[in-house]
């Protein structure tokens, strides 16, 4: 009764709880929060000092008494208490810092996570102040968010490339016919760039620098627009700061392994697809969503490897969050897809 009363004063929300970024959709308001999934805490305690954008600015720059944590790894919770604190911060921020609110919450999760990991997500949200928690698989949320006709008796294919995971799914009649989740995404690409520069130049760079290189120069195929970029880091031999210049070709070479893993996941999904659905995909092709969809030339490479049309979502970064927002209005569809935490 108390939860129901508090729910009258709260707005239902959908959360894309991503490894790299968290997006929050408030019912009837659209996406209201888009911040990094980073929390700064006091070392030795769980006292939260900063969340989101403010905490990300601290990554790699904190003194000994402050630790900047990314509480999700490969799409699942790695630090339960810090994730709970992060969710509480976002829920209260949506409701203008009001503490006595109990919203209904829809959370998108990777399709490959275990029941134990699902329970961890639900428990975190409930402890953070949710009244009811529904889970929806990320590829389904992304497909709904980009406008695919998921309830039709026809094949729809979505490739959601996030920070920690890549979700590939074939959807028909409001259900996932086949899905494949691989723990390769934007983070893996950043790590590949870090290791390449470390191996080739004995220069150590940070995560933020690697992400900047990926966004500025990263590509899956030669685009004809080759460029160079200055990179700053610490020389592993001399131990001193150093600057070097790298090219687009080098970055493309560094990204080869994670890109190939994504293409392979798409290929395997197509191999396991039912013949009738495969026939639908010849005309419909597939849609790329998630931050990784913005990697230059990735759509062209996947199209070359599969022979299918490949489309990039209009707003790939928001696709999953938009999908959670749409299903907020369809409570029966929600119960069918996930079922509440009771």
Q: What's the pLDDT tens digit per position in 77-136?
A: 888 888 888 988 888 888 876 666 788 999 998 887 889 888 988 998 898 889 889 999
Structure tokens at 136: 């929806």
pLDDT for 128 equals 86
- Nearest CA among 296, 280, 338, 290 for reference residue 318: 290
> 9 falls in which pLDDT band (50, 70, 90)?
very low
CB-based contact 332:34 (threshold 8 Å): no
Sequence-distant (≥ 6) Cβ neighbours of residue 125 within 8 angstroms: 15, 87, 105, 107, 133, 341
How much of the chain is in helix, strand and coil states, percent to nearest 5? 40, 25, 30
Can you tell me the mean pLDDT for 216-245? 91
CB-based contact 109:121 (threshold 8 Å): yes
Any idea what DSSP says for residue 307?
Answer: -
pLDDT for 111 equals 84
Distance of CA 63 to the CA centre of its chain: 28
Sequence-distant (≥ 6) Cβ neighbours of residue 63 within 8 angstroms: none
Residues in the chain: 342
Structure tokens at 173: 């009649």
Highest averaged pLDDT of the listed ranges 4-18, 131-145, 322-336: 131-145
Distance of CA 169 to the CA centre of its chain: 15
pLDDT for 21 equals 92
- Nearest CA among 221, 115, 112 for reference residue 168: 112
- pTM summary value: 0.88
pLDDT for 306 equals 95
- Would you give the end-to-end CA distance of the chain in angstroms? 14
Structure tokens at 138: 């990320």
- Nearest CA among 290, 291, 308, 311 for reference residue 299: 311
340 has a pLDDT exceeding 60: no
- Nearest CA among 50, 54, 115, 125 for reference residue 84: 125
Average pLDDT, the chain: 88
> 145 falls in which pLDDT band (50, 70, 90)?
very high
- 3 state SS of 279: helix
Distance of CA 85 to the CA centre of its chain: 19
Which parts of 117-208 are beta strand (E)?
132-137, 156-161, 166-172, 175-182, 203-204
Q: How crowded is the C-beta side of 268, counted as CA atoms within 13 Å?
A: 12
Can you tell me the mean pLDDT for 198-204? 95
CB environment 254-272: b (16+ within 10 A), e (fewer) = bbeebbeebbebbeebbee
CA dist list (Å): 288 to 5, 304, 313: 41, 15, 6
CB environment 84-114: b (16+ within 10 A), e (fewer) = bbbbbbbbeebbeeeeebbbbbbbbbbbbbe
> 332 falls in which pLDDT band (50, 70, 90)?
low
Can you tell me the mean pLDDT for 269-275? 93
Can you tell me the mean pLDDT for 177-189? 93
> 58 falls in which pLDDT band (50, 70, 90)?
confident
């Amino acid at each position: 009764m108390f939860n129901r009363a508090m729910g009258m004063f709260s707005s239902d929300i959908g959360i894309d709880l991503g490894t790299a970024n968290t997006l929050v959709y408030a019912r009837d308001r659209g996406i209201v929060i888009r911040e990094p999934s980073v929390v700064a805490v006091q070392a030795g305690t769980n006292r939260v000092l900063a969340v989101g954008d403010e905490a990300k600015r601290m990554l790699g720059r904190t003194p000994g008494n402050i630790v900047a944590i990314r509480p999700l790894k490969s799409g699942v919770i790695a630090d339960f208490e810090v994730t709970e604190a992060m969710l509480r911060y976002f829920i209260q921020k949506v409701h203008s810092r009001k503490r006595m609110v109990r919203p209904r919450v829809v959370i998108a999760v990777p399709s490959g996570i275990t029941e134990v990991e699902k329970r961890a997500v639900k428990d975190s949200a409930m402890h953070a102040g949710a009244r009811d928690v529904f889970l929806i698989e990320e590829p389904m949320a992304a497909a709904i968010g980009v406008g695919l006709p998921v309830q039709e008796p026809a094949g729809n294919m979505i490739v959601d490339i996030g920070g920690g995971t890549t979700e590939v799914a074939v959807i028909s009649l409001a259900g996932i016919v086949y899905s494949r989740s691989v723990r390769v995404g934007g983070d893996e690409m950043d790590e590949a760039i870090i290791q390449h520069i470390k191996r080739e130049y004995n220069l150590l760079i940070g995560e933020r620098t690697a992400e900047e290189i990926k966004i500025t120069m990263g590509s899956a195929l030669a685009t004809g627009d080759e460029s160079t970029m200055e990179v700053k880091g610490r020389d592993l031999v001399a131990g001193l700061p150093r600057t070097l210049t790298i090219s687009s070709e080098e970055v493309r070479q560094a990204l080869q392994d994670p890109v190939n893993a994504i293409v392979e996941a798409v290929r395997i999904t197509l191999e396991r697809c039912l013949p009738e659905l495969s026939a639908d995909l010849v005309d419909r092709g597939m849609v790329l969503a998630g931050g990784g969809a913005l990697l230059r030339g990735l759509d062209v490479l996947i199209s070359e490897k599969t022979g299918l049309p490949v489309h990039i979502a209009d707003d790939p970064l928001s696709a999953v969050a938009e999908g959670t927002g749409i299903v907020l209005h369809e409570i029966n569809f929600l119960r069918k897809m996930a079922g509440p935490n009771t």
